[in-house]
Amino acid sequence: MSQTPQTTPPLLELRKVSKSFGAVQALKDVDFVAPAGTVTALVGDNGAGKSTLIKCIGGIHPFDHGQILFEGKEVAIHSPKDAAHLGIEIVYQDLALCDNLDSVQNMFLGREIRNWLRLLDETPMEIAAGQTLRDLNVTTLKSLRMPVASLSGGQRQSVAVAKAVLWKSKLAILDEPTAALGVAQTAQVLALVRRLAESGLGVILISHNLNDVFAVADRISVLHLGRMAADVATADVDSQEVVELITTGRYRRQPAHAVREET
Amino acid sequence: MAVAIREYLRGYLGRVRSGELGTLPIILGLVVISIVFQNLNQNFLTAQNLANLLVQGSGVAVIAMGVVFVLILGEIDLSVGYVSGVGAAILALTVTGQHPWPWELSVLAAVAACALIGALQGTIVALMRIPSFVVTLAGLLGWNGVVLLLVADRGTIPIDNPVIVGVANSLLTPDQGWLVLIVGVALYVSFLMGQYIVRRRRHLSVDPLPLLAFRAVLVAGLGAVVVYVCNENRGLLVPIQGVPVITVLIVIMLVILTVLAGRTKFGRHVYAVGGNAEAARRAGINVAGVRIAVFTIASTMAALGGIVLASRLRSVDTGVGGGNILLYSIASAVIGGTSLFGGRGKVVHALLGATVIQAIDNGMGLLSLSAGAKFAVTGLVLFLAAAVDALSRRGRTAAGIG
């Protein structure tokens, strides 16, 4: 399993971040690390705080307390624009694409290339989109110019992920990328996730499906009731242990912090 | 080459099956309507009637072009009829009287006032998130009231400014008609070829050449028929011949708005918001700004349409902007193929739909059928168009496309 050398700081590091909504403490003193070139799975039961954590990283609502370090420097993320500016791209489960637009239009949405007349310049956009998809080995698309409504779930997810690569994001956060997909399409998207990490991006994968997590993740971070229950290397645990962590927040062999130091 | 065409046809059939019908059904519909009316009344396909048809439908066509943008956004604007009335009333009041304004200033005042109305309604829809149906329904009532207040004590305001009257009533000379056609077709062909060459050079997929040739011939042929028919002498006492100026103006508006919708960042964002507003927002698009701009465009086009209608009648009265203008404008956009569900539609649909409606209206008028019969048939056609839209949408869902 790949591991960032200790000399370079991790791509994203959260230190003791907290977030509450009124009386509800959604996150409490959470530490979280997502190194570059690594797939970090974020798992936890419903209501454990996964979505809140992601939304805070994405700038949809800010953390109440705690530090965010991006590439070793402390940063403030107050809006989705701040996150995008840092190179954080979130691929949402259902809300990533406009069905009536084609793949190229979706990948360049909000960042269209224009020519000297300030009209859309389709040629470079189509070339760049096609190149990115080919680099990611997404070869099943028949046409870049069909509305994405006509694509399969896996293809749509691929286009959404490719957008992160096209924009040279440093950190891609994938929210349940395989939730609605069949077996073959899931494999296709997981392979894509692996390639993203291999191309040097930091990837945070949120998933309910432990098969997916064990298939691609290098590390697993488990949230339980708003606290970080464990942060382990995938190789050191089996799925039974992770299920236990998710449901009870405990771990029968050793306490979580001990596992972390050991890896 | 044959392979390329077969590939294209297969792609086209695939799109039809998945609900992307394009403009083919509407063109076929027009052909059927023409054949039926010509069989019932030999006057339908005469030069005089066809030239009439072009002018009769022009006001509604202009308004409908703005409506297309609102429908693409997935909203509705019920106020365009009376907003066009407000525009026409402002124009008539300022360009006539004892101290008439120059026509340019009057047109500017009418268009600016309506643009403001659109911006106001758009802001309410975008920021207060009150459904556009209700906001523009209030607009329909309110602007009807404003029209009555503006015009009331004058009854009917005759317009005598030659430029304003000329908008819908003047003709090009036959030679000018051909010249405009040749320039227009040359520009269209060079655009098609330019795009083909650029994409070919970069190894991107291109439509097969024969298809491009077919499109060019179709546009040139249609244009040539229009110019030829309009250049026939249709006067009884004095010669009347030539292409109506308003037809050329409409084609220019069509080109400008088509470029706005299809080739600008703003146009792309309108489609995106209409397709999935939340995805558009997360892509960093100013969704509220897009909504406000679209309602402003609709009202601006309504003002221009109102000016065309006033020009054709050479006057404005208390009924301006009323009657079937609103219903015909929205029906034009929908019959032409713009989806009521948002996200899909083209500016040219407004023109095609307006032509269909006007052909029905005009053809049934020639048969001396009552207004009731006209409305009933137009309603049926509108229903058919909406049904095709809904069914094609279901086709997409069934194809797993939703």
Q: CA distances (Å), A199 to each of A27, A41, B78, B162, in order? A: 31, 17, 52, 69
Overall domain count for chain B: 1
Average pLDDT over residues B362-367: 89
Kindly list the residues from chain A whose CB atom is less than 8 angstroms away from the CB atom of residue B278.
95
More confident residue, B46 or B297: B297
Has residue B138 been placed in a domain?
yes
CB-nearest partner of B268 from A80, A120, A143: A120
* Exposed/middle/buried for residue B53 (C-beta within 10 Å: 0-12, 13-18, 19+): middle
Has residue B183 been placed in a domain?
no
| Best A81, A88, A98 residue to mutate vs chain B (most B CBs within 10 Å) | A98
Phi, psi of B273 (to 5 degrees): -65, -40
Could you give the dihedral angle defined by the CA atoms of residues B150, B156, B157 and B160, in that order, rounded to the nearest 10 degrees?
160
How much is the CA Rg of chain A, to the nearest whole Å?
19
* pLDDT of A3 over the 70 cut: no
Both tokens of residue A137?
A: 């080995």
Confidence grade of residue B402 (pLDDT, cut at 50, 70, 90): very low
Confidence grade of residue B400 (pLDDT, cut at 50, 70, 90): very low
Q: Please state, in angstroms and rounded to a whole number, the distance separating the CA atoms of residues B239 and B166.
A: 17
The ipTM is 0.87
Has residue B376 been placed in a domain?
yes
* pLDDT of A46 over the 50 cut: yes
From the list A143, A136, A155, A99, the residue with the least C-alpha distance to B204 is: A143
Kindly list the residues from chain A whose CB atom is less than 8 angstroms away from the CB atom of residue B202.
123, 127
Q: What is the pLDDT of residue B18?
A: 55
Kindly list the residues from chain B whose CB atom is less than 8 angstroms away from the CB atom of residue A81.
284
- Cβ pair A217, A18 in contact under 8 A: no
Confidence grade of residue A252 (pLDDT, cut at 50, 70, 90): low
Lowest mean pLDDT among B60-69, B166-175, B207-216, B383-392: B383-392
B216-227 per-residue burial string, b: 16 or more CB within 10 A, e: under 16: beebbeebeebb
Residue with tokens 């050398």: A5
State the average pLDDT for chain B: 89
Has residue A144 been placed in a domain?
no
The CATH number linked to B84 is 1.10.3470
CB contact under 8 A, B396 and A149: yes
Average pLDDT over residues A132-147: 81
Average pLDDT over residues B193-211: 86
* pLDDT of B401 over the 50 cut: no
* pLDDT of A262 over the 60 cut: no
* Dihedral class, residue B358 (left if φ above 0, else alpha if ψ from -120 to 50, else beta): alpha
- B152-183 pLDDT, tens digit per residue, is 888 899 999 999 999 999 999 999 999 999 99
CB contact under 8 A, A99 and B343: yes
Average pLDDT over residues B76-105: 94
Highest mean predicted confidence (pLDDT) among A46-55, A174-183, B137-146: B137-146
All residues at 6 or more sequence positions from B138 whose CB lies less than 8 Å from its CB, including other chains: none
Instruction: Give the neighbor-by-neighbor strand order of the sheet with A65-70.
Output: A24-34, A12-21, A65-70, A73-75
CB-nearest partner of B205 from A112, A114, A143: A143
Strand partners, A14: A32, A68
- Cβ pair B114, B302 in contact under 8 A: yes
The A-side interface with B (CB below 8 A) comprises 80-81, 84, 90, 92, 95-101, 105, 109-112, 114, 118-120, 123, 126-127, 143, 145, 147, 149-150, 152
- Cβ pair A123, B206 in contact under 8 A: no
Domain carrying residue A222 = 23-101+169-262
* pLDDT of A45 over the 90 cut: no
Confidence grade of residue B271 (pLDDT, cut at 50, 70, 90): very high
Average pLDDT over residues A111-137: 90
Phi, psi of A229 (to 5 degrees): -80, -35
Lowest mean pLDDT among A25-29, A225-229, B5-9, B370-374: B5-9
CB-nearest partner of B278 from A95, A100, A150: A95
Q: State the CB neighbour count (10 A cutoff) for residue B336.
A: 27
Measure A97 CA to nearest chain B CA, in Å.
6
Q: What is the pLDDT of residue A261?
A: 46
Has residue B61 been placed in a domain?
yes
* pLDDT of A65 over the 80 cut: yes
Confidence grade of residue A263 (pLDDT, cut at 50, 70, 90): very low
Instruction: Using a pLDDT cut of 70, give the percent of chain A over it.
Output: 92
Has residue B190 been placed in a domain?
no
Overall domain count for chain A: 1
Kindly list the residues from chain A whose CB atom is less than 8 angstroms away from the CB atom of residue B276.
95, 97-100
Q: Please state, in angstroms and rounded to a whole number, the distance separating the CA atoms of residues B56 and B324.
A: 13
Q: What is the pLDDT of residue A105?
A: 95
CB contact under 8 A, B205 and A112: no
More confident residue, B376 or B113: B113
Measure B202 CA to nearest chain A CA, in Å.
8
Q: What is the pLDDT of residue B1?
A: 56
- Cβ pair B339, B67 in contact under 8 A: no
Question: HEC profile for chain B?
Answer: CHHHHHHHHHHHHHHHHCCCCCCHHHHHHHHHHHHHHHHHCCCCCCHHHHHHHHHHCHHHHHHHHHHHHHHHCCCCCCCHHHHHHHHHHHHHHHHCCCCCCCHHHHHHHHHHHHHHHHHHHHHHHHHHCCCHHHHHHHHHHHHHHHHHHHHHHHCEEECCCHHHHHHHHCECCHHHHHHHHHHHHHHHHHHHHHHHHHHHHCCCCCCCHHHHHHHHHHHHHHHHHHHHHHHCCCCCCCCCCCCEHHHHHHHHHHHHHHHHHHHCHHHHHHHHHHHCHHHHHHCCCCHHHHHHHHHHHHHHHHHHHHHHHHHHHCEEECCCCCCCHHHHHHHHHHHHCCCCCCCCCCHHHHHHHHHHHHHHHHHHHHCCCCHHHHHHHHHHHHHHHHHHHHHHHHHHHHCCCC
* pLDDT of A259 over the 60 cut: no
More confident residue, B346 or A163: B346
* pLDDT of B396 over the 70 cut: no
Q: What is the pLDDT of residue A6?
A: 54
- B226-261 pLDDT, tens digit per residue, is 999 999 888 878 888 899 999 999 999 999 999 999
Average pLDDT over residues B45-67: 91
Has residue B119 been placed in a domain?
yes
Average pLDDT over residues B314-335: 92
Has residue B9 been placed in a domain?
no
Kindly list the residues from chain B whose CB atom is less than 8 angstroms away from the CB atom of residue A143.
11, 205
* pLDDT of B398 over the 80 cut: no
CB contact under 8 A, A101 and B265: no
CB contact under 8 A, B285 and A119: no
Q: State the CB neighbour count (10 A cutoff) for residue B155.
A: 9
| Chain centroid, CA B296 distance in Å | 16
Q: What is the pLDDT of residue A59?
A: 85
Confidence grade of residue B207 (pLDDT, cut at 50, 70, 90): confident
* pLDDT of A140 over the 80 cut: no
Kindly list the residues from chain A whose CB atom is less than 8 angstroms away from the CB atom of residue B282.
80, 90, 92, 95-96
From the list B110, B173, B70, the residue with the least C-alpha distance to B310 is: B110
* A188 HSE (CA, 13 A, CB side): 20
Domain carrying residue B294 = 24-170+244-393
CB contact under 8 A, A80 and B265: no
Has residue A221 been placed in a domain?
yes
Average pLDDT over residues B12-33: 73
Average pLDDT over residues B45-70: 92
CB-nearest partner of B198 from A84, A97, A123: A123
CB contact under 8 A, B204 and A119: no
More confident residue, A146 or B402: A146
Residue with tokens 């809140």: A52
Instruction: Using a pLDDT cut of 70, give the percent of chain B over it.
Output: 95
Average pLDDT over residues B354-373: 89
The CATH number linked to A226 is 3.40.50.300
Average pLDDT over residues A180-198: 86
CB contact under 8 A, B279 and A109: yes
